[in-house]
Amino acid sequence: MAGDEGRSERLMDDTEGTDDALLPLRVWLALFSSVKQIEGVVRRNLREDFASTLPRFDLLSQLYRIPDGLTMGELSNRLMVTNGNVTGLINRLLAEGLVERLVDAEDRRVQRVSLTRKGRRLFATMAPANQAWINGVMAGLGTDDLRDLHRLLTKLKSSAAHHGQDTDSPRE
């Protein structure tokens, strides 16, 4: 965490100033470093309060939303990690009785993974804690700030979806 913030700060210093041409790059560095900073808070709280990790929390949160379960490939896609990493995580959760394997109703060769009741109960205690951490992180911003920030980020995502492709591989 500290190293990464140091990195972002240093990059910020390089672009310090009022030159509008550098504004997009400065916004990007501020975006990147605020996400790393907040991820650091969530990681620490997960470790201290739940002896847990961010990949584990993300995996539980995916499974919580889909009671019918997900295949390893689907989990791997959703979490943007390799199949190997998902397998390792799932094996530990299986050993702890937090997830179980189901055989797909339509294709018996497909194995799905879903939360057990114990797993659902665990995530149901983690989710409100996560929400409280995020509320804490954002306590310095008022409702208007948060609304503005949400609106600008929504605009940014739309801009990135439309213009992110333009440079060298037009797709629309």
34-63 residues in contact with a second copy (CB under 8 A) are 34-38, 40-41, 44-45, 48-49, 61-62
26 binds a second copy (CB under 8 A): yes
152 binds a second copy (CB under 8 A): yes
The window from 86-94, 96-104, 105-113, 159-167 that contacts a second copy (CB under 8 A) reads 159-167
DSSP state at residue 50:
H
In the chain, the amino acid numbered 72 is: M
Helix axes 54-65, 117-137, angle to 10 degrees: 120
The window from 85-93, 95-103, 117-125, 152-160 that contacts a second copy (CB under 8 A) reads 152-160
* CA angle, residues 34, 146, 40, in degrees to nearest 5: 25
Q: Distance between alpha carbon 113 and the CA centroid of its chain, in Å? A: 20
CA 170 – CA 11 distance, rounded (Å): 30
By C-beta, is 47 or 101 nearer to a second copy?
Answer: 47
10 binds a second copy (CB under 8 A): yes
**In what helix (H) or strand (E) does residue 113 lie, and over which residues does it extend?**
strand 111-115
Within residues 75-134, the interface with a second copy by CB under 8 A covers 76-80, 131-134
By C-beta, is 35 or 103 nearer to a second copy?
Answer: 35
